[in-house]
């Protein structure tokens, strides 16, 4: 073959290749369709392998605990803040000078009335008492002889009277020495709890020096003020409820036993004093207290405090209707004894969620755990739990916050 023929064939093949590269994609547009050769081969081998869309799983019901709203006599009240005080309080002080010889108590422990707490060195006082008694015996003998001699006519009436008066002086000296000796013994004036002493054994004390405080705290007093507008609503014997920040889940009952006759001119308020039992020794004098004075009973719709869910300065409850959640805005009133007055938004016997609120949403599907107790029953049980009288299992709120109780994917309702 001649050389020009070979060059012609090579040129022809080059032209064909360039033509395929330029015009091929326009007629065989597989790249623009995003189909690879392997995909085409798989599609040709299995034409029925197109996957179907997955079906959406059904929502799972959220477990909740509920209670029934009810209409009950509900006490209205006046709120105030006050301070707790001991029923009896005293700071023990020395009345005589002397060295402390005995300390007969442990700090912070109960003591009884008449118990010896401190004894000062009383050697000098005892000696003075014995001296006074000896002088009394001498005076007694002189008076007896003066009476006998006066009866026989050997002494005058004045001599007899002088002997009688000397006897009285010596008797007073004995009483004085006895009193000084008793002042060397410092006893508890009432039953209570002794505080922390500020002196040590062997220390010399002078009259008026503070030794230790003594507090009677089995019953406490709470002082609080009310505006003069409510003076007519306060009476001796009226019931109240007291709460302290140190024990947030417990309510302490009390009774008003004294009302000041004086209206404070500066604040136009009256001072009220009430008594609170403290047999369990949970409260301490000086605690800040929130007081709710109960004035009168009226029928009201109530729910447990745990049913209220605040949001943006509004109050909501989650009502259960046909196992579905309805978020209801409510207007609340008084609070006490673990219950909240509902002024509007609910009706008696409505079922509201009291545990599991952090997981529920409006229209969510729920599953009710346990019974559907009345709101007042729930409040009583919570009060017993706070006092330790009722041993109950962990609530739903507690179990949901435990480290092993995180919800599974897909468990929340849509």
- In sign, the C-alpha dihedral spanning 231, 236, 239, 244 is positive
pLDDT, mean of residues 2-21: 71
Task: Tell me: pLDDT of 407 over 70.
Answer: no
Rg (CA), the chain: 46
Confidence category of residue 31, pLDDT binned at 50, 70, 90:
very low
Pick from 90-104, 230-244, 382-396 the range whose average pLDDT is largest: 90-104
**Tell me: the pLDDT tens digits for 249-305?**
788 999 999 999 999 888 889 999 999 999 888 999 999 999 988 877 778 899 998
Q: Tell me what pLDDT residue 402 has.
A: 39
pTM assigned to the model: 0.57
Q: Assess contact for 261 and 205: CB atoms under 8 A.
A: no
> Comparing C-alpha atoms, which of 219, 227, 221 is closest to residue 80?
227
Q: Tell me what pLDDT residue 25 has.
A: 55
Per-residue tokens: 18: 């360039």
Three-state secondary-structure class, residue 66: strand
Higher-pLDDT residue of 220 and 374 is 220
Task: Specify the DSSP element, H or E, that contains 316.
Answer: strand 314-321
Domains of the chain (ranges plus CATH)?
A: 64-85+216-393 (2.40.30.170), 91-213 (2.40.50.100)
Confidence category of residue 46, pLDDT binned at 50, 70, 90:
very low
d(CA 99, CA 97): 7
**Tell me: the pLDDT tens digits for 178-196?**
999 999 999 999 999 999 9
Task: Tell me: pLDDT of 77 over 90.
Answer: no
Task: Tell me: pLDDT of 19 over 80.
Answer: no
Q: Tell me what pLDDT residue 37 has.
A: 43
pLDDT, mean of residues 376-389: 71
Q: How far is CA 93 from the centre of its chain?
A: 35
Q: Tell me what pLDDT residue 336 has.
A: 74
| Average pLDDT of the chain, as a whole number | 82
Secondary structure, 3-state, 165-229: HHHHHHHHHHHHHHHHHHHCEEECCCCEEECCCCCCCCCEECCCCEEEEEEEEEEEEEEEEEEHH
pLDDT, mean of residues 320-345: 87
Task: Tell me: pLDDT of 8 over 80.
Answer: no
pLDDT above 90 as % of the chain: 40
């Amino acid at each position: 073959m001649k050389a020009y023929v070979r060059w012609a064939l090579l040129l022809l093949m080059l032209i064909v290749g360039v033509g395929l590269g330029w015009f091929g994609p326009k007629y065989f547009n597989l790249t623009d369709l995003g189909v690879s050769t392997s995909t085409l081969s798989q599609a040709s081998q299995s034409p029925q392998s197109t996957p179907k869309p997955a079906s959406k799983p059904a929502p799972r019901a959220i477990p909740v605990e509920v209670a029934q709203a009810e209409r009950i006599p509900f006490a209205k009240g006046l709120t105030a803040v006050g301070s707790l005080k001991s029923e009896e309080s005293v700071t023990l002080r020395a009345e005589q000078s002397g060295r402390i010889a005995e300390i007969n108590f442990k700090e912070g422990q109960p003591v009884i009335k008449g118990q010896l707490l401190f004894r000062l060195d009383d050697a000098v006082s005892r000696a003075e008492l014995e001296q006074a008694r000896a002088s009394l015996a001498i005076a007694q003998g002189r008076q007896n002889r003066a009476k006998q001699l006066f009866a026989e006519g050997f002494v005058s009436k004045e001599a007899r009277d002088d002997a009688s008066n000397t006897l009285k002086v010596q008797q007073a000296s004995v009483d004085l020495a006895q009193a000084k000796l008793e002042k060397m013994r410092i006893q508890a004036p009432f039953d209570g709890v002794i505080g922390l002493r500020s002196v040590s054994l062997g220390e010399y004390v002078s009259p008026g020096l503070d030794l230790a405080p003594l507090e009677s705290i089995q019953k406490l007093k709470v002082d609080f003020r009310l505006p003069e507008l409510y003076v007519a609503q306060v009476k001796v014997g009226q019931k109240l409820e007291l709460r302290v920040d140190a024990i947030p889940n417990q309510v302490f009952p009390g009774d008003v036993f004294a009302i000041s006759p004086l209206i404070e001119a500066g604040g136009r308020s009256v001072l009220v004093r009430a008594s609170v039992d403290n047999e369990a020794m949970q409260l301490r004098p000086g605690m800040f207290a929130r007081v709710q004075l109960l004035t009168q009973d009226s029928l009201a719709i109530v729910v447990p405090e745990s049913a209220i869910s605040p949001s943006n300065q509004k109050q909501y409850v989650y009502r259960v209707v046909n196992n579905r959640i309805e978020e209801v805005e409510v207007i609340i009133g008084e609070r006490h004894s673990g219950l909240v007055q509902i002024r509007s938004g609910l009706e008696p016997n409505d079922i509201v969620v009291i545990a599991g609120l952090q997981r529920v949403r409006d229209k969510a599907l729920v599953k009710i755990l346990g019974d559907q107790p009345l709101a007042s029953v729930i409040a009583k049980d919570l009060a017993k739990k706070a006092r330790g009288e009722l041993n109950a299992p962990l609530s739903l709120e507690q179990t949901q916050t435990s480290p092993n109780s995180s919800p599974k994917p897909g468990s929340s309702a849509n």
